[in-house]
Amino acid sequence: MQINDLVIFQSVAEHGSFTKAAAANNTGQSNVTARIKSLEAEFNTRLFERTSRTITLTDAGTVLLKSAKEILLLLDNTKRTITGPDLPLKSLIKVGCIHTTAALRVPGILQAFGEDYPEVEFKIKTGTTSALVKEVLACQLDGAFVAGNLVDERLIVQPVLTEELGIVVSSLVTSYEQLKNSKKKIKLIVFSDGCSYRKHFERIISGWAINQISLIEMDTLEGILNAVENNIGISLLPVALIERHYKYKAVKVFPLLAELSLMTTVFVKRNDSAMSEGYQKFFEMLARGYKTSV
């Protein structure tokens, strides 16, 4: 086994693609395939489950990915100690983020961190809470900003902030009471299953005097807001998101009672994951509380 075998293996795991891993490492797909086959032969087990459309880690692959990250991080730290301890702190942090936090909070968080550590790079991936937590546990992401009350002994859950949520509707809707007592079918415009806001939204709606409810799933925040603006349905989103970034939209926000409106945004990471110095500094900033200009 060579160090570069682990680099390529990690790249395949994170990209979920032999082709993308080859491009990221400036090599041919045949070389990537050969390296993975060599590792599988060395460990006498399959590291990936392959179908015609997807590549996913096996349990053994997840174990190796965690170890590979630790080995590569140890090498990087050793190199920094020997060759450049006084050089600017550099690292790449792979972070997952729910769509609303990516739009509303993450730019300010990264700006604040970047003022002290401008050489640290970030790769942001958006998704639902459920999907992102799964990738953190599989070591495919270093950590993730997600929402809700998460309890998992495998994770460190660091509260970051509390969002006030509101019912977002077209400007054509006249009142909250009219909406709650509507005799027409209500369509909820939501992200895919696994979204914490979606689950909370469904709990709120269950208390309304409405018999007909349907869901429309969308993959983007912009798509959801466009659908709401055109009075196709309603959504549940952070009030600050609309007030700060979408005032130009023909939408309005109906506030909720405090016990229904508040949801905590947290940052999650595996409790046994190795952390680069840059990542450690980033996590410490989140734990202290962050200040942004947003």
User: Is pLDDT at 88 greater than 80 in this prediction?
Assistant: no
In this predicted structure, the answer to whether residue 250 has a pLDDT above a threshold of 50 is yes
Beta strands 186-190 and 213-217, pairing class: parallel
From the candidate CATH numbers 3.30.930.10, 2.40.50.320, 1.10.10.10, 3.30.210.10, the one assigned to the domain spanning 1-83:
1.10.10.10
Q: What contacts 113, CB < 8 A, 6 or more positions away?
A: 120, 281, 282, 285, 290
Q: What is the pTM of this model?
A: 0.84
Summarised one tens digit per residue, pLDDT across range 18-28 is 888 899 888 99
> In the chain, where are the structural domains located?
1-83, 162-263
H or E element, residue 70: helix 59-83
Give the chain's mean pLDDT: 89
Q: What is the pLDDT of residue 292?
A: 46
d(CA 29, CA 18): 6
Q: State in words which class domain 162-263 has.
A: alpha beta
- Give 38-80 pLDDT, tens digit per residue: 999 999 999 998 877 778 889 999 899 989 888 988 888 787 7
Query: Tens digits of per-residue pLDDT, 171-184?
Result: 998 888 888 887 78
Q: Contact, 201 vs 143, CB < 8 A? A: no
CB of 173 within 8 A of CB of 231? yes
